[in-house]
Amino acid sequence: MSGALRSLLSLCAHMLWPVSCPVCGAMGEVICEPCLTPLLKPPPPRCLECGEPVPCKLHRGGGRIYSAGLYEGGLREAVLMLKGKYRVMGARLGRACARVLVRPDADLLVPVPLHLDSPRRYNQALVIAEALGRAWDIEALPAARWTKDAPSRSGMSAAQREALTPDFFAFDSVAGARIALVDDVCTTGSTLSRLAEAARGAGADVPAAFTVAQTPY
């Protein structure tokens, strides 16, 4: 194909679906595979119980939070596009993350639920969990829900995070299951930690959580 024809086709694609790769700017692509792959370099895991880097002195046998990359640059842009209107970005990110993260020994992947007051039309964590689940052959199940309004995760103060207790979450039918939690970004780890406590309270075993990105520690 000639360069001119290729440019014309990508311009047509862009007009039909106005999106461009956040890394290289290629039109008609939410993100190109060769641009996404180098963004995924898993940082050291964090403790699922307290969010500290592992090995955590307080929780030696505790769960872990594994992330596929750092929440900065192109990966941050990609997550923001997923949280905007580009649902398909979740499938791309989940599929790519499954390649760099180690498949857990789990029966279910459970996404962090959308906040009760969220204006979003889909749960980005569920879209990621479904893509991970397809790659790992593990069922993705939105088994958790908020029981009451909680402060928005971004911009939560230490006091607000402290106030986030496991009873903010309820679980459906996870007793006896071994579950891995899924979210888009791990900031302090407090939401995942409270969700893990709530799942254990509902009878599940929670050895791990997975996120696309974690904020640099």
Residues that bind Zn ion (CB under 5 A): 21, 23-24, 26, 32, 35, 47, 49-50, 52, 56, 58-59
Q: H or E segment at 212?
A: strand 205-214
Q: Which is nearer to Zn ion, 9 or 116 (CB)?
A: 9
Q: In the complex, what is the shortest distance from the CB of residue 148 to Zn ion, in angstroms, rounded to a whole number? A: 26
Rounded CA-CA distance 70/212 in Å is 8
Q: Which is nearer to Zn ion, 23 or 180 (CB)?
A: 23
Q: Which is nearer to Zn ion, 59 or 134 (CB)?
A: 59
What does each C-alpha distance from 118 to 22, 65, 103, 129, 187 come to in angstroms?
A: 25, 24, 30, 19, 19
Q: In the complex, what is the shortest distance from the CB of residue 97 to Zn ion, in angstroms, rounded to a whole number? A: 17
Sign of the Cα torsion 164, 167, 169, 175 reads positive
Q: How far is CA 38 from the centre of its chain?
A: 18
Q: In the complex, what is the shortest distance from the CB of residue 131 to Zn ion, in angstroms, rounded to a whole number? A: 19
**Residue 52, token pair as written in the block:** 């500290």
Q: In the complex, what is the shortest distance from the CB of residue 120 to Zn ion, in angstroms, rounded to a whole number? A: 25
Rounded CA-CA distance 31/196 in Å is 32
Q: Which is nearer to Zn ion, 93 or 177 (CB)?
A: 93
Sign of the Cα torsion 194, 196, 201, 202 reads positive
Q: H or E segment at 190?
A: helix 190-201
Report the SS3 class of residue 169.
strand
Q: Which is nearer to Zn ion, 95 or 115 (CB)?
A: 95
Q: In the complex, what is the shortest distance from the CB of residue 139 to Zn ion, in angstroms, rounded to a whole number? A: 28
Report the SS3 class of residue 16.
helix
Q: Which is nearer to Zn ion, 23 or 114 (CB)?
A: 23
Q: In the complex, what is the shortest distance from the CB of residue 137 to Zn ion, in angstroms, rounded to a whole number? A: 29
